[in-house]
Structure 1
Amino acid sequence: MPDWEKRYRAPRVGFPEWAEDAPDRSLFVSNVGGTFELYTWDRAAGTRRQATDRPNGTVDGTLTPDGSHLWWFDDTDGDEFGVWRRQPFEGGADETAVPGLAPAWSAGLALGRDGTAVVGRMTEEEGTTVHLAPAGGEPVEIYRHRESAGVGDLSRDGRLIALEHTEHGDTMHAALRVVDREGRTVAELDDTRGGTEPLGLSVWGFSPVPGDHRLLVGHQRGGHWAPMLWDPTTGRSEEIGIDLPGDVHADWYPDGSALLVVHDHHARGELYRWPLAPLGGTDAHGGTAGAGGPLERLDTPAGSVFGAGARPDGTVEYLWSSAAEPPRVGSTAGGIVLEAPGPTAPPSVPLRDTWVEGPGGPIHVLVQTPPGEGPFPTVFDIHGGPAAHDSDSFAAQPAAWVDHGFAVIRVNYRGSTGYGREWTDALKHRVGLIELEDIAAVREWAVTEGPADPERLVLSGGSWGGYLTLLGLGVQPELWTVGVAAVPVADYVTAYHDEMEALKALDRTLFGGTPEEMPDQWRASSPITHVDRVKAPVFISAGVNDPRCPIRQIENYVERLAARGAPHEVYRYDSGHGSLVVEERVKQTRLEIGFALRHLPAPGD
């Protein structure tokens, strides 16, 4: 078996979440059975159990605070439309967790110590609704709005519920509302008030300390994500001035004595501890609780951190990887915390960073190259999101391209997270076209100074990256030799009318209105508008149950390619927005690379 297949098939485990009041009871995701499913782990007994078993996999689940039960989201073949199920931690029959709630898209979940569940839902008919279900009682609606919203957290005593909402119509910059159990507003925190530029807020969690109602909040007032403490019962807030470049996210230590800080900067992550002064007291510098400090660096390797949590004993566990080394769950106490049985994934090549001057400023580019001298056939592997970014982390797909002799270039274009609010927000209203300008600038660098053979360039990506692939093949037809698009937006207007409600709200934000209100903008940014200019052979894969990039709009695009006799292949599979089945992922990668190799010219042709 080649190394690229071994990387997909190697058993993996995700970051283990644990029950707040029973930390020996954990939950994690693993592909050890060939499909990504939920597993429970009793640390004290040393036992693990596969908790879910569905044809298309399960990854959305959580534990009750006492660790007695697992909740998991049950959809149909990856369509993300379903209900919450519940089963005992030790195993047993699944039951409907909240009887009386019809299937919907999930908009968050919070579970209380008294058995209360706060369930967020979205449907086309209702918009967003939030229901409070007391233990053994009927669910009661406590929030409803047409715009996108979600459940953030439930306070330790179960009295307060934090919501993120976008009632102002900008889904990229949420406001916060805290309500009581009857849905009555306790407090609002909104950085869009007064007509100012929307900055965006995020719920990071209520204090774990009894009697402390402070909420840890993420804000972007300084241009990057940073933490603040807000007490909705008093209205008092305090920004936490951690002097680090890039984005700073945080979570509570279990006793409330400190914050666990996750620092994300230039595609890499690291961990810190930020001590807090006692509640109601002052810190060593005379500041109030929350001022805290100094910042303490925790020992983690260079690379990326994709999950971290502080244990009751003060140690920190984290999921780490780099482009060269496969993921592992480590601890600041030393050693590996959780491993899957079986062989470890083969390593890949490290990446190197470069910065390319673009039309909107310097663009961060991540490059991997195979052994030997270039120029190489090169894949521009465009990330999805768009609210995401590529990082120095292990990924089987780019490693597979490298194994086949390709250089891989990843571009954190305008619209990517991690480089400040202005960089992320830049794509609004010229959707797709802004990103393609950055990708074209990086292409120019790659063929003049970098590793790329200009006659053998593959534009590739999944989801938003698949959308940019199809749009780029039409808007920039002279730049690309082959296109490979997975679960893409292909006909944006049709996609809007068929997609899940949360994405409709996002698209209205990006374009400034609906397709009917802003027809020129939607037309310019839709791949199907430019399909007759496509010259490169195109490979498209699509999930027939995809609620994010629905199948009908992809079929519209394919019909246009076929009518022209344009070279293309389409692979349809019975799942949603991507697959959780290992063999399916291997098959798709084999098809994609095989298509590119068949259609790229030989060196020097």
Structure 2
Amino acid sequence: MDEDLLEALASLPTFHHATVSPDGNEVAVYYDETGRNELHVVDVATGERTRWSDGEVPRNARWHVEWGADGDRVFFHLDDDGNEQNDVYAIARDGSVEPVVQLDGQTVLQDVGEDGETLLVGSTASGQMQLYRHDCATGETTQLTEYDRAVGAGVLSPDCERIAYATNETDTFENTDTYVADADGSNQRNLEIGETGAEVGPVDWGPDGDRLLVTDNTADLGRCGVYDLSTDEVTWYGGEFDEDAESFLPGGDRFLAVRTRECAKEVVVYDARTGAATTLDLPSGVASLGRAGSAVVDEERIVCSHTTPDRRPELLCYDLATDETEQLIAADYGDLDPDRFVDAEYFTFDSAGVAEFDDRAGQGVESDPASREIEALLYDSGERPSPAIVNPHGGPRGQDTRGFDLYTQFLCSQGYSVLKVNYRGSTGRGREFAQAIYDDWGGNEQADIATGTTILAEKEWVDDDRIAVFGGSYGGYSAYCQMTMYPELYDAGVAWIGVTDLRDLYENTMPHYRTELLEKNVGSPEENPALYDERSPITHAENLAAPLLVLHGVNDRRVPVSQARLFRDRLDELGYEAGEDGDYEYVELGEEGHASTDVDQKIRTFRTLADFLERRL
């Protein structure tokens, strides 16, 4: 293990959550060039960067930031050591910080009103995730919604007199509808966009408050729509590729969207009148507009990040009229040679799911009748013969893309080639593909990953006696599944913040994860008791046949640390030996929750991962 290289990679400066100020002159962004995450503000005209914070913002840059309407302060989320039980704080230009919204449970800033007084937040203070209105002048916070299901995607109208949001009141659990209500939560109206069972969400109000930009997957692939509130008519755009609407441009005649195809993402500008679409002129990779806040500088300029598999992210100001860019934050490689990073090979393969594996087909796992085309990315480290890591993504509503991934490049730097599989259930391929995992966790999607592993092992340059699986979150669940359901394929495994016991997860995760993840995907334990048992890796722990590293943050509230502890205890009951020379190794990460962007915490994780793989693989 090259300790210097490990630390150099983990310490590469990284930015997160860039958002443009109301006047378009500045960009607020998390950046860790000092070795710690801090809030910085970039002058769009000059590129000059000013640091506002000095340790007041969280170490982990998971949650987004948003400007106040006056442009003199920035709102951010603050929790306790990664437990995601956020409160909302504000930081001013002089570095002074004050709490703004403090509620029990998890609080998430949804929108900032243009009136300078109103915040729209989501919170689990009452149990389920609901919307609340916060009055900055009085400090009062008022609950606006009260649904059985979680409420999200909240956006304020320009005059702050109305709100739009998404939830579900139907008996079709996978359904999501878009609603409009008065600002006090009254006069709630389901706009009834799309068919029942589809997922429809609001994205942005038109500048005059008479239209809503929405995303919908009624037609399978995600599409963008503009809903006219005066006529209740919607105009649809796109349809050839999976797309997500992002925001209107200032005049309201154009809007931004992000298109996904073949694991790449590109920003699209739609003319709302003609439907004409123009993509940004950037190399194939991942272009993105940020998770929240605004990407719009003015009518012709936006701020976006861009990256490729072997090139780190850079923050750009893009001129839509000329296709010219100005670099606001350059990709930083420190003392490392940029050419050392590995590009990804995109390929597809057919998977028949568990039908490929007779032993799994006989364990209560029904085969998906359709063979699926599965997208994958392969990173060749150049080592010969090459040990390899299969690295399933989290989610499961997620996707591995052609963007720079630090963990992948870290593994490649240690000589391991890396395979990423966008199994059924992944995003970017439409609603039917994403929902193919419903009522089937631990089933056919795990067979997709296993099929990818067999293809990898057949490559003549891969050392098929040195293949490991490593994943985090749902990828950690997949690592546990692969090691206990397909043990013959792997020589080692690393399960990071992963799920082991679905029943325990149902009891102990946050309320909106219980309904919108577990119940939506696999029902409840009462509805599907056999599924909850059969698809829990802890049920199959006795099949573990290769060294396993169990890695978990102690403050994780999405996937509580009880998941790791239960699996450890089960291994002990079965007679497995713990320790560096044993059957498994167990590490809890203090002061950390569901992963972290913090430099020191990344170094700790990299060191633990590298040490285990070096000894065991």
Whether the TM-score (by the shorter chain) exceeds 0.5 is yes
> Does the Cα contact within 8 Å between 1:381 and 1:409 map onto a contact in 2?
yes
Question: CA contact under 8 A between 1:178 and 1:232: conserved in structure 2?
Answer: no
Structure 2 length-normalised TM:
0.88
In the alignment, the residues of structure 1 paired with residue 256 and residue 460 of structure 2 have an alpha-carbon distance, to the nearest angstrom, of 39
1:355 equivalent in structure 2: 348
Equivalent-residue separation in structure 2 for 1:429 and 1:451 (angstroms): 37
* Residue matched to 2:157: 155
Alpha-carbon distance between aligned partners in 2 of 1:432 and 1:36, rounded to the nearest angstrom: 36
SS in 2 for 1:23: coil
What is the match of residue 430 of structure 1?
440
Q: Secondary structure at the match of 1:184?
A: coil
* Equivalent residue number for residue 588 of structure 1: 605
Equivalent position of 1:369 in the other structure: 380
The equivalent of 1:255 in structure 2 is 251
Q: Which amino acid counterpart does residue 60 of structure 2 have in structure 1?
A: G
**Counterpart code for 1:303:** G
The Cα of 1:343 is off from its aligned counterpart by 2.4
Match of 2:314 among 302, 322, 328: 328
Q: Which residue of 1 aligns with 2:469?
A: 459
Residue 85 of structure 1: SS of its match in structure 2?
strand
Q: What are the ranges of 5 or more consecutive residues in structure 1 without an aligned counterpart?
A: 278-291, 601-605
The residue aligned with 2:203 is 204
- For each residue in 1:522-542, what CA deviation from the matched residue of structure 2 results, as whole angstroms up to 9, or x when unmatched? 001111111111111111111
Q: Quote how far apart the aligned CAs of 1:148 are.
A: 1.1
Instruction: State whether residues 186 and 232 of structure 1, in contact with CA within 8 Å, keep that contact through their aligned partners in structure 2.
Output: no
Q: What is the alpha-carbon distance in structure 2 between the residues aligned to residue 508 and residue 262 of structure 1?
A: 27
Cα displacement (A) at 1:153: 0.7
Q: Percent identity?
A: 23
1:500 aligned partner, one-letter code? M
Displacement after TM superposition at 1:78 (Å): 0.9
Find the partner of 2:233 among 231, 236, 241.
236
Report the AA paired with residue 255 of structure 1.
G
Is the 8 Å Cα contact of residues 187 and 233 (structure 1) preserved in structure 2?
A: no
Structure-1-length-normalised TM-score: 0.89
Q: How does 1:306-345 map to 2 (within 5 A)?
A: 306-307=288-289, 309-332=295-318, 333-339=324-330, 343=334
1:82 maps to a residue whose letter is: N
Q: 1:93 aligned to 2:116?
A: no
The 1-side partners of 2:6 and 2:404 are apart by 12
1:489 aligns with 2:499: yes
Q: Does 1:517 align with 2:527?
A: yes
**C-alpha displacement of 1:423:** 1.0
> Deviation of residue 341 (structure 1)?
7.7
Among 47, 70, 73, which residue is 1:66 paired with? 70
80, 84, 94: which one aligns with 1:80: 84
Cα distance between partner residues in 1 of 2:344 and 2:332 = 28
Partner secondary structure for residue 9 of structure 2: helix
Gaps of 5+ in 2: 319-323, 353-370, 578-582
Aligned counterpart in structure 1 of residue 541 of structure 2, from 531, 545, 552? 531
**Shift in CA distance, 152/226, structure 1 to aligned 2, threshold 3 Å:** same
Q: Of the candidates 215, 218, 222, which is equivalent to residue 219 of structure 2?
A: 222
Aligned residue for 1:283?
A: none
> Residue 456 of structure 2: SS of its match in structure 1?
helix
Aligned-residue offset at 1:313: 4.8
The one of 247, 260, 269 aligned to 2:265: 269
Alpha-carbon distance between aligned partners in 2 of 1:451 and 1:189, rounded to the nearest angstrom:
56
Where 1:16 maps in the other structure, the secondary structure is strand
Shift of 1:184: 1.8
Q: 1:550 to 1:170 in 2, by over 3 A?
A: farther
Give 1:170 deviation, angstroms: 6.0
CA contact (8 A) 2:391 2:420 kept: yes
How far residue 353 of structure 1 moved from its aligned partner, in angstroms, is 1.3
Cα deviations across residues 446-474 of structure 1 (Å, max 9, x unaligned)?
A: 12247533221101100000011112211
What is aligned with 2:390? 380
Once the two structures are TM-superposed, the CA of residue 108 in structure 1 deviates from its matched residue by: 4.4
* Contact 1:304–1:393 under 8 Å retained in 2: yes
**Structure 1 residues 508 and 166, CA, compared in 2 at 3 Å: closer, same or farther?**
farther
Corresponding residue for residue 282 of structure 1: none
Mapped to 2, the partners of 1:483 and 1:171 lie a distance apart of 34
Please give the alpha-carbon distance, in whole angstroms, between the structure 2 residues aligned to 1:9 and 1:300: 27
Q: Is the 8 A contact 1:206 1:216 kept in 2?
A: yes
What SS does the corresponding residue of 1:317 show, helix, strand or coil?
Answer: strand
- Tell me, in whole angstroms, the C-alpha distance in 2 between the residues paired with 1:544 and 1:54: 21
Change beyond 3 A, Cα 1:130–1:272 = closer
Q: What is the letter of the counterpart of residue 24 of structure 1?
A: N
Deviations 1:72-100 (A, max 9, x none): 11211111113211232x124322214xx
CA drift of 1:50 comes to 3.5
- Paired with 2:129 and 2:509, the residues of 1 have a C-alpha distance of 15
Q: Kindly provide the amino acid, as one letter, of the partner of residue 357 in structure 1.
A: D
Structure 1 residues 168 and 39 mapped into 2: Cα distance closer, same or farther (>3 Å)? farther
Judged with a 3 Å threshold, the aligned counterparts in structure 2 of structure 1 residues 440 and 74 are, in CA distance, closer, same or farther, namely: same
Work out which of the residue numbers 112, 118, 121 in structure 2 matches 1:119: 121
Question: 1:518: how far off?
Answer: 1.7
- Which of the numbers 181, 191, 194 marks the counterpart of 1:179? 181
Change (3 A) 1:85 1:363: same
Give me the CA root mean square deviation. Answer: 2.3
Give the 3 Å change call, closer, same or farther, for CA 7–306 of structure 1 in structure 2. farther
Cα distance change on mapping 1:509 and 1:233 into 2, 3 Å = farther
- Please say if residues 165 and 201 of structure 2, whose CA atoms lie closer than 8 Å, have aligned partners that are also in contact: no
3-state SS, counterpart of residue 143 of structure 1: coil
Shift of 1:248: 4.6
Distance 1:248 1:425 in 2: 17
User: 1:597 aligns to what?
Assistant: 614
With over 3 angstroms needed to count, the CA separation of the structure-2 counterparts of 1:91 and 1:130, relative to structure 1, is same
Q: 1:560 to 1:185 in 2, by over 3 A?
A: same
CA 1:559–1:423: 2 relative to 1, 3 Å = same
CA distance in 2, matches of 1:171, 1:107: 23
Secondary structure of 1:390's match? coil
Are the aligned partners of 1:152 and 1:203 in contact in 2 as well (CA < 8 Å)?
Answer: yes
Match in the other structure for 2:21: 19
Structure 1 equivalent of residue 562 of structure 2: 552
Alignment check: 8 A CA contact 2:344 2:402 kept: yes
In structure 2, the CA distance between the partners of 1:341 and 1:472, relative to structure 1 (3 Å rule), is closer
CA contact 2:201–2:216 (8 Å) conserved in 1: yes
Q: Is the 8 A contact 2:221 2:239 kept in 1?
A: no
- The answer as to whether partners of 2:342 and 2:381 remain within 8 angstroms in 1 is yes
CA displacement at 1:424 relative to structure 2: 0.6
Question: Partner of 2:425: helix, strand, or coil?
Answer: coil
**Are 2:479 and 2:494, in contact at CA under 8 Å, matched by a contact in 1?**
yes
Preserved contact between residue 164 and residue 203 of structure 1 (Cα < 8 Å): yes
Distance 1:335 1:3 in 2: 31
Range that drifts further, 528-537 or 305-314: 305-314
State the SS of the aligned residue for 1:14: strand
| Residue in structure 2 matched with residue 53 of structure 1 by the alignment | 56
> Which stretch of structure 1 is more off in the superposition, 587-596 or 482-491?
587-596
In 2, Cα distance between the equivalents of 1:346 and 1:463? 31
Partner residue, 2:594:
577
Question: What SS does structure 2 have at the residue aligned with 1:104?
Answer: coil
Aligned-partner Cα distance in 1 for 2:310–2:107: 35
State the shift of 1:400 in Å: 1.5
- Comparing 414-423 and 56-65, the one that deviates more: 56-65
CA deviation profile, 1:225-271 (whole Å, cap 9, x unmatched): 1100113344222212x264333534211222312232211111222
